[in-house]
Chain A
Amino acid sequence: NAGVTQTPKFRILKIGQSMTLQCTQDMNHNYMYWYRQDPGMGLKLIYYSVGAGITDKGEVPNGYNVSRSTTEDFPLRLELAAPSQTSVYFCASTFGTTTNEKLFFGSGTQLSVL
């Protein structure tokens, strides 16, 4: 059982380049999330999805876009990379069928924008 899988593990971008961070889960979870982690700052929510075809902004959505065409996949798109987007990105998922749900995280994508 793979859980939440993120690719790539590391990436270096030049300012203005674009890229897509991939996230897939094999647990049939309805809810998926993208967080970014900056040193000493905890994790901040970028975007989330409550099911295929439905996405919504989190706390820090500017500069990012997402789509959710299937239950399994939730890619995060950076259109014009900026140095402020240098961070570690984590994808997470959960079922969303009870009052309290635990999130399961992928192992992260470390992105540097130079």
Chain B
Amino acid sequence: GQQLNQSPQSMFIQEGEDVSMNCTSSSIFNTWLWYKQDPGEGPVLLIALYKAGELTSNGRLTAQFGITRKDSFLNISASIPSDVGIYFCAGQNRGSNYKLTFGKGTLLTVNP
């Protein structure tokens, strides 16, 4: 099956710093999504990307759908303590019954 490689596995940053994480795939996806998971909760959708090359923002978050359709990145600007959590990338293809393939996640820790 399709595999997603997400990096880095974990990050420790100071409040106010910018963060960047990325995801690469062995094959193409039609849709890329970024989810955040808080401790003890399910993943919550942050950003969805539908077109190759698309750049989308949601507040301090910016994500891009790679031109090759095999990668995506997520940037968080001016991090704050509540950004702590696990960030997952996920790919979705048409005709797949909307099933998601997930990366292994990036654990973000923000030191106040």
**Footprint of B on A, CB under 8 Å?**
4, 31, 33, 35, 40-45, 48, 50, 56, 58-59, 90, 92, 94, 96, 99-108
Contacts and interface: CB of A to CB of B under 8 A. Distances in A.
Nearest to A105: B42
A108 B41 contact: yes
Interface stretch (B56-64, B70-78, B92-100): B92-100
- Listed from nearest, the 3 A-B pairs whose CB atoms lie closest are A105-B42, A42-B102, A42-B104
B42 A90 contact: yes
Interface in B4-49: 4, 6, 9, 30-31, 33, 35, 40-45, 48
Contacts of A59: 1
Contact of B48 (A41, A43, A102): A102
Contacts, number: 63
A44 B3 CA distance: 11
Interface of B: 1, 4, 6, 9, 30-31, 33, 35, 40-45, 48, 50, 88, 92, 94, 97-100, 102-105
Residue among B6, B88, B97, B104 with the most chain A CB within 10 A? B97
| Secondary structure dominating the interface of B | loop
24 contacts: A31-B97, A33-B99, A35-B102, A40-B9, A40-B104, A42-B4, A42-B6, A42-B104, A42-B105, A45-B100, A48-B97, A48-B99, A90-B42, A90-B43, A99-B30, A100-B31, A100-B48, A100-B94, A101-B98, A103-B45, A105-B35, A107-B41, A107-B42, A108-B40
Contact of A40 (B41, B97, B105): B105
A42 B88 contact: yes
